[in-house]
Structure 1
Amino acid sequence: MADVAAAAGVSGQTVSRVVNGSPRVDPETRTRVERAMADLGYRPHRAARALRTGRTDTIGLVVSTLATVGNSRMLQAIADSAARGGLALTVVTASGRDAVGDAFARLHDQGVDGAIVLNEATALARTVAVPAGLALVVVDSPPDERYTAVQTDHAAGAHAATTHLLELGHASVRHLRGPEGSFAAAERERGWRSALAQAGVAAPEVLRGDWSAASGHRAVAALPADATALFAANDQMALGALRALAEAGREVPGDVSVVGFDDVADAADFRPPLTTVRQDFDALGAAAVAALVARIAGERPAGTILVPELIVRASTAPPRG
């Protein structure tokens, strides 16, 4: 640090302010210091800084699985946002109540400044004690004083998808639901039911899947012949549904219109291109990291709810006749 200060013609305190992101440095001086750091190959020593500040600039991520597309997209978004903020990321998978408690304990022992809990793991996280001093943000969860909740408005997205199908003239809409215990799946079912009730349509029996394309294929293989519209709770299950319908000789959207949820990267390349509800994973990840940084600083930020967008493509159309 002394070498950087000498090369930049500033004090050691100024170099320290630049390294720690202090706003109390004018832009010209900051640029000069950063140039000297680059020229000299200076890198802050994270462990030494932790001893001084009491923070490691490391955050944790607790997730039940990375096999689902949504969780993988969220991991990427959170990792990108953390990197932009100069934060390291530690990922822990946990699939049961005790496993989530152990994950919290391990992260706390590793000295992380805070943690983000993702999707299916949130229901488990609500039932375990959070170690004292561990700042916590939960993605997809009801509000709780122990943490800040960040979520997509899943119910609003499902309502928009179902309303779109009803407005095309379909008498009813079947729903392919996500797994039990998932906050997102429950909210999407709630939005579907709300749209049907608003239109005065009785909700038919729910089809059940587990987020995978295979589960969508299995569930939709038994879709009644009089069903003309299907709202799948995610794009992967919608993909399986498209295959099942094709194998049954039912055209999409001629015989059955299909809507998914998430707008994964390949959704526009499904056959036909999939009408779906777009989640902004990048914005969701950035909101989660920003809320966690605020909680680490001792603040109590309000929760964030992001409204998704209906993307209409070729998999939906009015019913025949």
Structure 2
Amino acid sequence: MDRPPGMMDVAREAGVSHITVSRVINGHPSVRPETRTRVEAAIQKLGYRRNSVARALKSRRSSTIGVVIVGSDLFELPRILLGVETAAKQAGYWVSLASRQGESTTGDLVETLQRLTDQSVEAIAVVADRPVAVEALSRLSIGVPVVVVMSGSVPNPGLSFVEVDQELGARLAVRHLLGLGHRNIAHLTGALRTFDGRARVAGWRAELADAGMEGPLLEGDFSAESGFRLARELCAGDTVLPTAVFAGNDQMAMGVLAAFAERGVKVPQHVSVVGFDDMKGAGYLVPALTTVRQDFAHLGGRAIELLVRMLGGETSEHQKIAPRLVVRRSTDAPRAGS
């Protein structure tokens, strides 16, 4: 044949009607086992593949969920996508992926969403590391359910949101240090253009305020290099070294540990250090890092659960997933003279 085999070709090869072929393809229980075997053999022989585009146009269902990635600094993305794909597969959906790197405009994001809806996706998850991407959705209506992952919320009742509670995570870190007796707790922030960076600052500041305290804040960018640089600044001059450092993430904490080791500052004897994320290998740093664990696979899976419920007619909602503090050897009570 000078064209791909179609359903009618399979029907002729198997000696059945095209309706029977359709029933076999769609798993209809009314087909006799011997007929099903004959049709499946014909499909295998001819190399027939369903035309999913035509099927979607006819049924108005593509069984596909679109995923849009906005931003280039999402180190946790593989685990989020693992959760998304696993949950989508369990719910009977495929995933179609699109991305926007760098400084995306509202028009860029709308174009990407439109491209996915043109492919007949039934719902869309937007994974964003910057509030600007979410703000672009504030007045957008694209006709399919949308859930935003990781980046807070905007006043749009048509959108659902799911995130790890970043502010609570920061509070847990600071609460742990306060409970150990620390009263001078510095925060080395991540990039403040991101939702995560800003929320962790808010949590650090709020927990200290509840205890009637304040602390030094130095702005970084989530990289190990910035953690190293800021920790060296803390050690410079005649300033009093804080007894504890809450780093914006584990990468920054890794840089902090390196800078302190270079300057002869012992952790946790001189300064306790807490990170955020519980990245792979955090327990094997020297010393093993106390940190806040985020379950990114669960986050991705929860996004799909929300979309499936919205497809079933439920209203949008905003869910926050609680992180968990993991205490290791990088934190201890302050020593006398520290």
Indicate whether the TM-score tops 0.5.
yes
Task: Verify the 8 A CA contact 2:161 2:318 in the aligned structure 1.
Answer: yes
- Residue 242 of structure 1: aligned partner: 257
Is 1:119–1:184's contact at 8 Å kept on the other side of the alignment? no
1:177 aligns with 2:177: no
1:289 aligns with 2:304: yes
Tell me how far apart the structure 2 counterparts of residues 311 and 18 of structure 1 sit (CA, whole Å): 47
Q: Report if the CA contact (8 A) 2:159-2:316 is conserved.
A: no
Q: Following TM superposition, by how much is the alpha carbon of 1:155 offset from its aligned partner in structure 2, in angstroms?
A: 1.2
Which ranges in structure 1 are unaligned for 5 or more consecutive residues? 20-24
- Cross-structure match for 1:219: 230
Q: Secondary structure at the match of 1:69?
A: coil
Alignment of 1:230-269 (within 5 A): 230-269=245-284
Alpha-carbon offset, residue 111 of structure 1: 3.1
Distance 1:208 1:198 in 2: 22
Q: After the TM superposition, list the runs of 4 or more consecutive aligned residues in structure 1 that deviate by more than 4 angstroms.
A: 11-19, 36-45
In structure 2, relative to structure 1, the CA distance for the partners of 1:76 and 1:91 (3 Å cut) is farther
The answer (yes or no) to whether the contact 1:78–1:288 under 8 Å persists in 2 is yes
1:104 aligns with 2:113: yes
Please say if 1:87 is aligned against 2:76.
Answer: no
Match of 1:124 among 133, 140, 148: 133
TM-score, length-scaled by structure 2:
0.79
Distance in 1, matches of 2:23 and 2:316, equals: 30
| Structure 1 residue 313, shift from structure 2 partner | 0.6
How far residue 182 of structure 1 moved from its aligned partner, in angstroms, is: 1.7
The answer to whether the 8 Å contact 1:68/1:212 transfers is: no
Query: Unaligned regions of 5+ residues in structure 2, if any?
Result: 1-6
Give the structure-1-normalised TM-score.
0.83
Q: Identify which range, 240-249 or 71-80, moves more after superposition.
A: 71-80
Question: Displacement, 1:255?
Answer: 1.2
Match of 1:160 among 167, 172, 179: 172
Distance 1:44 1:92, change over 3 A: same
> Are 2:142 and 1:135 aligned?
no
Q: State yes or no: 1:186 paired with 2:193.
A: no
Distance (whole Å) between structure 1 residues aligned to residue 128 and residue 117 of structure 2 = 20
Task: Report how far residue 256 of structure 1 moved.
Answer: 1.1
User: Residue deviations 1:35-66, cap 9 Å, x none?
Assistant: x9799768754223312221322222222334
Deviations, residues 199-227 of structure 1 (Å, cap 9, x unaligned): 111x2231112122122222222115421
Match of 1:279 among 281, 294, 300: 294
Report the AA paired with residue 156 of structure 1. Answer: L
Compared CA separation, residues 227 and 278, structure 1 to 2 (3 A): same
Report the alpha carbon displacement of residue 309 of structure 1 after superposing the two structures with TM. Answer: 0.7
Return 273-282 or 295-304, whichever deviates more: 295-304
Q: Determine if contact 1:79/1:89 at 8 Å carries over to the other structure.
A: no
**What SS does the aligned partner of 2:161 have?**
strand
Contact 1:104/1:131, CA 8 A, preserved across alignment: no
Tell me, yes or no, if the aligned pair for 1:62 and 1:121 is still in contact at 8 Å. no
Alignment match, 2:65: 59
Answering whether residue 317 of structure 2 is matched by residue 302 of structure 1, we say yes
* 1:275 to partner: Cα distance: 0.6
Change in Cα spacing, 1:40 to 1:317, as seen in structure 2 (3 Å) is farther
CA offset at residue 127 of structure 1?
2.5
Shift of the 44–295 alpha-carbon distance from structure 1 to 2, 3 Å rule, reads: farther
